[in-house]
Structure 1
Amino acid sequence: MIFGVPWWVFMMVLFIFLSGYMAFRAMRAERELEEKYIEQQGKVYMDRIEEERQKRMQQERDQQVSH
């Protein structure tokens, strides 16, 4: 007994805090993965927009030259 409380009570409190810390770490890591995925998908989207813009500009140039 420590301060009139059984030792296993202290261990349970310690495990509760440890569990909370591990859950917090897992949530933070998951959020970072989601942000990286979102950034990657955003880059793919922006690349497609840029490719489409380039195609349109090339088509407009081709039409101006043929007239």
Structure 2
Amino acid sequence: MIITSRKATRNHKLTDAEKEANRLLSRERAAVEHGFANLKTWRILTKVRMNTRHATTLLRALLVLANTEIQR
């Protein structure tokens, strides 16, 4: 499911609740984008030619390694 942020229009200003929802969505999106940026540093991903289940396992393992390195 894809959730997009709310947009204000000329006739409709965003409510405080909509602004808060946009902030929460942005926070989650940033975390995901940082995860993908970390994965792109692993050059092995450019050569992944495997079953999607195995690729998912590889990606999860790389994320664990990347997060462990970042937390040091």
For the aligned pair, the TM-score class normalised by the smaller chain equals 0.3 to 0.5
State the structure with more CA Rg.
Answer: 1
TM-score w.r.t. structure 2 length?
Answer: 0.39
TM-score w.r.t. structure 1 length?
Answer: 0.42
